[in-house]
Amino acid sequence: MQKTFDCSLFFPRQSIRLEVSKPNREKVVASGVGRLIYEKRTQGGITKRNLAKKWRVHPEVVGLWERGEHCPRVRYMPAIIAFIGHANWLPDTTFANRLFKHRMLQGLPKDGLADLLGVDPRTIARWERGQFPSSQKQTEIDLYLGGKNPQRWPRLENWEKGKEPFPS
């Protein structure tokens, strides 16, 4: 469905026509986390209102996520992943993807993960865009992400409670 708007009121000396089309619902639902929320919710016979109440958001927000018009905030991701039952839709093939997936699973904002790792939040953003840390730092972070050395890095609970993540 397309709508055409005449812009002669705003630009009287130029003939400009804008065409606006509504996104195709099937295409939008067919991709991303919104599709997974929609499928799981409809298969389970759960209403948007009930799901929104469980996640403490407005029911329209759930609809926006399902239609792909907005992405859920990081703090809602652990509940969404638990609802869907898996996080296979989050790729983990590269270092940047593994870092992003870990943040989503934990519900950590960039500054939260930065505090845990002892780096600046902008550094986390650069790493998630594909820039690499030093090989030693990347190895340490990969160990942390893989959970192979839990004593090396502070626990998530310390960050959530506002405690100093690194003991002095």
Tens-place pLDDT, residues 22-81: 444 344 334 588 889 999 999 999 999 999 999 999 999 999 999 888 888 888 988 998
What pLDDT, on the 0 to 100 scale, is given for residue 151? 41
Backbone angles phi, psi at 160, to 5 degrees: -65, -35
3-state secondary structure of 19: strand
Q: Domain containing 153 — which CATH number? A: 1.10.260
Confirm whether 12 is domain-assigned.
no
Residues 63 and 107 reside in one and the same domain: no
Confirm whether 9 is domain-assigned.
no
**How wide is the angle at C-alpha 101 spanned by C-alphas 38 and 111, nearest 5°?**
110
Distance of CA 54 to the CA centre of its chain: 19
The token duo for 61 is 């927000």
How many domains does the chain contain in total?
2
Residues 111 and 134 reside in one and the same domain: yes
Residues 115 and 70 reside in one and the same domain: no
What pLDDT, on the 0 to 100 scale, is given for residue 167? 38
Find the domain containing 120 and state its range.
95-160
Beta carbons of 99 and 145 less than 8 angstroms apart: yes
3-state secondary structure of 153: coil
